[in-house]
Structure 1
Amino acid sequence: MSDFVRVPVGGGSPEGSNSAYVLPDHSVLIDPGPPGDEAYERLRTGLADAGISVSDIDHVVVTHWHADHVGLAPRLAAAAGATIHMHKHDAPLLGSYREERRKRTRRDAATLAEWGVPEVRVEEVRAGDTPSPLPDETPVVAHEDGDVVAGGEILHTPGHTLGHLAIRFGDAMFVGDTVLPTYTPNVGGSDTRSTTPLTDYLQSLRRLLEHDGEFFPGHGGSLAIPERVETIRTHHRERTERVLARLEARGDATPWDVAVDLFGEMHGIHVKFGAGEAAAHLRALADASFAERIETDPDRYAVRDVPSTATLAEQFE
């Protein structure tokens, strides 16, 4: 295994502190953490405690565009004279932050409306989506699946975001938010660019299971694989069963209808996450011919063919 140090930074997530990983032999730091002076000082202190200087970092690898992972990347890269690396699908959301944020907020609002979210809730999401303290533009090197950065192999693992990546150094796989120790990553609402987020996510889990080493997440410590993956698959299978049951009970429904049935009243960011989860499962059911989209603007689905338990389980293998 490549030697590395985990530095806890940030906080406020259901999983607790973010995990920044530094690999001194490769001059690489993975996922520096959220923006802000406090997080930056925690990162610097953690590095210093391990005998590592900021100037020792030549490469900053960011698993995905969410602020709690990418927030410190511009500041760290500037201080270290380092290069930032991201997957090509997520790189623009940091590289051209101001313009891409404008596009994203418009896209999010339009997608929520397509999912049947009431206008008052859409506006609530927009009002709560405040800018991150990131530069308008930041130099970022964009990568594809299979690229190598300082000896580490990049794997494209979409689902949580369109351009999520994992990176493998020897028998250590750093997986960002694709797999977390106790919390199931949001699929659908965490990146509204994705058209088949659940299908993509399940495929990403399959790819990770091909790795027979150790796994290290973007929050918390090491993971028990494949046990954790099986728990996540079971979670999504059971949610799919509940979505089908709600469609049968209603006759037809929008993603928002299903989200309210599943999660109750939602506000703020939970509107996007809840509706996104419902939409992701409905799309996956439609792609498998178990449901069909019968209307658009907003999207409305109905049951087409109720699968057996065994048939449904096959979708999550």
Structure 2
Amino acid sequence: MAVVSMKQLLEAGVHFGHTTKRWDPRMKPYIFTARNGIYIIDLKITAEKITEAYQAMLEIVQNGGQVLFVGTKKQAQEAVKEVAQKTGQFYVDERWLGGTLTNFKTIRKSIKRLKDLHKLEEDGIFEKLPKKEVLTILKERAKLEKNLSGIKEMQKVPEAIFIVDPRKELNAIREAKKLGIPVFGIVDTNCNPEEVDYVIPSNDDAIRAVKLIIDIMGNAIIEGQGGVVEHVEDEEDIDQSSVLEGEVVQKDRKDRRPQPRKKTKAPKSVVETTKEIKRDIPAESEPSKKEIPSIEEDLASKTVAELRALCKERGLSGYSRLKKAELIELLQNN
């Protein structure tokens, strides 16, 4: 039995890295190839690293250890909160407060203050205070709640932390290193893998990819706590090159990265499509076919004003403050 299958990794878009212009050379051992200006992560290595991290996490929890999930980027916030709450662990999904690990005594004072403010309301003290003072207290409580809600029950520093994107969570990593706390992390092709003890090479910008890996680490915690989790059947090795053959790499729709512009080239004998599907290679005698632009490419060529106009025509709402990539995603999903 395995903890993850190649099929799951492919479907979640785990293999899509950053553009070849934005990479860290130290990630070279984890890269399979490059297609259309985008690095493709070696999923065989990713599967091995996930299994390695899974076993390490399981052992930490079996020995009574606690885990802190850190994911302050938009694509990770919901997943880290959901898994941490499900497994009885802790999380930081907003801003990493300096000293969360290295100055935990001070953080505990802030947590105590948060609990005291909640108690004021529970004891009916708010009813006896001036309205202006109550509003000031509520404002302070909301700020503390936003930053501390995921760790307010954490009585000591954790035995492990799991981070999404080392570049984004560098302060958390540095604090963990000072205390000798092992760091597990999702590491994309533009990150330094040497910052992380248990590297999981993966797309860190696609929500589906991030959620898949965090859920797997959640399973490790559940199993370490004595729970039962479902494993996938061992599968035959999948040739990643054959899966990518004749395809144009397309990022997950949840990915916010800008796509590289396509250069106009003479028609080829092999038709490349923007969807990840297999195509038969036409015989040499067949005339060349022109590339058929995808809906995504059509939308990408439009201005923000044009995209908002399309949203208005379709009767969509909530588009006025969205950025271009978010407008494209909204139009594609509706």
Name the larger-Rg structure.
Answer: 2
TM-score range, shorter chain: under 0.3
TM-score (norm 1): 0.25
Higher RCO structure (Cα 8 Å, ≥6 apart)? 2
Q: Which has the higher strand share?
A: 1
TM-score (norm 2): 0.24
